[in-house]
């Protein structure tokens, strides 16, 4: 018998209907569905990994960048971690129905502000199949239905993951349409998804500037941009240089293809002569290509001749690769000024022994996450205790930083009286 693929509008309408049921379900029902999802992922490991192998092979044949291949790859260990994250999310406090605050008016009315789900959340993402499950689990935990739209690079992985997750939660009693995936893949589909006014309540894109440009041009529903990460580490004059070296290397090298890896290292002139030779040597030994301003090159010791000159473009670039720009500054204020000019507002760090410098940095740097004496690599919903994240927002409304279950809710005012009328 012939079958037809549902349209974007039909998928979103089914998700809207599911969202109304999800919002009314008790926490235990949603948590049980998440446990069923985790078990299904573990049982479906061979099928999921086989689909991912097909995507990885196609990616290698098409010349997909190594950073994207790393994001795309699933292993038994990674799949086990995804299932564990689902269970962690299930164990989080339920945000739905939480009273945020409340008060009694002089006329006796009780006013409460209560968390409620957003409704239908659409997530548009590139070659990261773990997003399929992380976002689905976060949305269901917070009482939302989700519509997924992945990239062609991960088409096989995403399709199997979404099918496994959807079947598990429906079998556990959740309504059909709680988890949906769009498979067309063209820009017309994306435009249609982003214009589902009154049906889709929020779109969250996780991808490059091209994706964001399309949404900025066409979206008529609210969008939270999970933004790029042009991140910095600033080594202050009072820094412990051993700590500074470890932090800089970790923030660049530990996983360079992610948005919380640093792209620029700023170093105070007072410690540059001591710090740069050893730090740059460790970075170079880790495979990092270094691009430095003139002052940094002059203080780099034996590595000076091997450093490329940094350009204006380097300060503004999110490399997502083993490339690092290096600059010497004369003060914390200059570091803050540089970050203010080039940062994407994601994650910024200072290494310092000075309380005054730390306070100036945390107060002066406008970013979602600001670190003192720690690597920027910790900006992650899972690390922050959220179980996982649906993205990292650099916007200021309505969510900023890692987007977890609380950020996937809004609120309503509930007012209880005893017959009051307004005169």
Of 190, 173, 233, 184, the C-alpha closest to 33 is 173
What span, in angstroms and rounded, lies between the C-alpha atoms of 23 and 178? Answer: 11
pLDDT confidence tier of residue 226, bands split at 50, 70 and 90: confident
In sequence order, what are the residues at sequence separation of 6 or more whose Cβ sits closer than 8 angstroms to the Cβ of residue 90? 31, 34, 35, 38, 137, 141
- Model pLDDT, residue 340: 98
The pTM assigned to this predicted structure is 0.90
pLDDT confidence tier of residue 227, bands split at 50, 70 and 90: low
pLDDT tens-digit map of 68-109: 898 899 999 999 999 999 999 999 999 999 999 999 999 999
Buried b (16+ CB within 10 A) or exposed e, 30-41: bbbbbebbbebb
- Annotated domain spans of the chain: 8-226+390-416, 231-378
- Over range 349-356, report the average pLDDT: 98
pLDDT tens-digit map of 112-121: 999 999 999 9
pLDDT tens-digit map of 131-170: 999 999 999 999 999 999 998 999 999 999 999 999 999 9
Q: Which fold has domain 231-378?
A: Aldehyde Dehydrogenase; Chain A, domain 2 (3.40.309)
Q: Does domain 8-226+390-416 have CATH number 3.20.20.70?
A: no
pLDDT confidence tier of residue 127, bands split at 50, 70 and 90: confident
pLDDT confidence tier of residue 51, bands split at 50, 70 and 90: very high
Report the 3 state secondary structure along 150-211.
CCHHHHHHHHHHHHHHHHHHHHCCCCCCCEEEECCCCHHHHHHHCCCCCCCCEEEEECCHHH
What span, in angstroms and rounded, lies between the C-alpha atoms of 94 and 408? Answer: 12
- Over range 262-284, report the average pLDDT: 98
Burial class (CB in 10 A: 0-12, 13-18, 19+), 406: middle
pLDDT confidence tier of residue 44, bands split at 50, 70 and 90: very high
Bond prior to 398 in cis (omega within 30° of 0): yes
pLDDT tens-digit map of 184-209: 767 889 999 999 999 999 999 987 77
What is the DSSP secondary structure assignment for residue 303, as one 8-state letter?
G
- Model pLDDT, residue 2: 45
pLDDT confidence tier of residue 1, bands split at 50, 70 and 90: very low
Any alpha helices (H) in 219-350, and if so which ranges? 241-253, 269-285, 294-298, 312-315, 332-342
pLDDT at 218 over 50: yes
What span, in angstroms and rounded, lies between the C-alpha atoms of 263 and 344? Answer: 11
Which DSSP string corresponds to 77-106?
HHHHHHHHHHHHHHTSPP-TT-EEEEEE-T
141 or 395, which is more confident? 141
């Amino acid at each position: 018998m012939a079958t037809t693929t549902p349209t974007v509008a039909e998928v979103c309408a089914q998700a809207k209907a599911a969202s109304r049921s999800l919002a009314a379900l008790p926490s235990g029902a949603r948590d049980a569905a998440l446990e069923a999802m985790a078990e299904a992922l573990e049982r479906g490991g061979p099928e999921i990994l086989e689909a991912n192998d097909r995507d990885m092979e196609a990616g290698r044949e098409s010349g997909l960048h190594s950073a994207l291949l790393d994001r795309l790859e699933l292993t038994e260990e990674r799949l086990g971690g995804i299932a564990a994250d689902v269970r962690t999310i299930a164990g989080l406090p339920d945000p739905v129905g939480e009273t945020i605050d409340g008060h009694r008016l002089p006329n006796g009315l009780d006013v409460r502000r209560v968390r409620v789900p957003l409704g239908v959340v659409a997530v548009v993402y590139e070659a990261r199949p773990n997003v399929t499950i992380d976002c689905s689990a976060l949305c269901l935990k917070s009482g939302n239905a989700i519509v997924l739209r992945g990239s062609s690079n991960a088409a096989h992985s995403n399709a199997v993951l979404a099918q496994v997750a959807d079947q598990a939660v429906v079998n556990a009693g959740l309504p059909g349409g709680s988890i949906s995936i769009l498979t067309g893949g063209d820009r017309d589909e994306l435009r249609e998804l982003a214009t589902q006014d009154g049906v889709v309540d929020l779109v969250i894109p996780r991808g490059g500037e091209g994706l964001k440009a399309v949404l900025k041009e066409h979206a008529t529903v609210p969008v939270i941009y999970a933004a790029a990460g042009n991140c910095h580490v600033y080594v202050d004059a009072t820094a412990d240089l051993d700590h500074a070296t470890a932090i800089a290397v970790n923030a660049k090298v530990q996983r360079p293809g992610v948005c919380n890896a640093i792209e620029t290292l700023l170093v105070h002139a007072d410690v540059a002569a001591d710090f740069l030779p050893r730090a740059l040597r460790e970075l170079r030994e880790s495979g990092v290509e270094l691009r430095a301003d003139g002052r940094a090159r002059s203080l780099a010791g034996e590595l000076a001749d091997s450093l490329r000159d940094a350009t204006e473009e380097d300060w503004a670039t999110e490399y997502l690769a083993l490339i690092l720009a290096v600059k010497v500054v004369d003060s914390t204020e200059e570091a803050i000024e540089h970050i203010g000019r080039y940062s994407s507002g994601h994650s910024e760090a200072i290494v310092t022994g000075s309380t005054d410098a730390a306070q100036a940095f945390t107060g002066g740097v406008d970013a979602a996450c600001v670190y003192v004496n720690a690597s920027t690599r910790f900006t992650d919903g899972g690390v922050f205790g959220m179980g996982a994240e649906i993205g990292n927002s650099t916007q200021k409304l309505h969510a900023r930083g890692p987007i977890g279950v609380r950020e996937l809710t809004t609120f309503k005012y509930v007012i209880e009286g005893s017959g009051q009328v307004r005169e």
